Structure 1
Amino acid sequence: MIELKNISKTFGNIQAVKNISFSVKKGETLVLLGKSGCGKTTTLKMINRLIEPSSGEIFIDGENIKTIQEEKLRLGIGYVLQNHGLFPHYTIAQNIAIVPKLLKWDKDKIHKRTDELLEKLHLSSQL
């Protein structure tokens, strides 16, 4: 589970994120939706510690992210980028498989998970 408690972020005099609290349970999907500049990307960057919150706490599976090694934390988190984030010379399946390969999943597990996601999204592995 991911839990944000009273997260805020300021850059100088600019309040990018103000007092956000929410939780996402295992298996749930969360969409951060809003106008450009409203703090969506800043919030995601705080969850994976690319930037630190000005105040508040973030927990993953009950553990404060400040106590988790950054590389380990980031390998366990995935999100869809606002702009193009795919490798254009790879198929969709190859793009999906990138992170599992970095996590050293075995080939059968990668293939099974890739197929599950492609089916869920009604996409062909040939694209």
Structure 2
Amino acid sequence: PTPTPSESPTPEPSPTPTPEPSPTPSESPTPGETPDPSESPTPAPSESPSPDPSATPDPSDPATPGAPSSPSGTPPAAPSDPAKPQEPSGGPLASTGVRVGLPLAVAVLAVMGGALLVSRRRA
């Protein structure tokens, strides 16, 4: 009966430094009608600078400092109480924000980029 956190009212993220985000490569390559050569569809989803690095410390190289801290031979002390799930450093609300907020922000950026592309084509 209660709505899921993804159905909450979503304020559009205002810190979008790139004015032309084109995260949908299916819309941009029209034959013979490319507005700017600077608008390349492929690097835009990986270059979304505001939501990704702020929520996760380093998504590009997660295996450098953090992964060898817990070797697979010796289990850490956290599975001793199986009722409590392993929470990241921020707690359950932050992990929900990372799980829901990041894909939601990427989806909102994709919709905004698609709407921008459509509006620039019609103008």
TM-score class, shorter: under 0.3
Greater RCO, 1 or 2 (C-alpha within 8 Å, sep 6+): 2
TM normalised by structure 1 equals: 0.18
Q: Which has the larger radius of gyration?
A: 2
Q: Give the strand-richer structure, 1 or 2.
A: 1
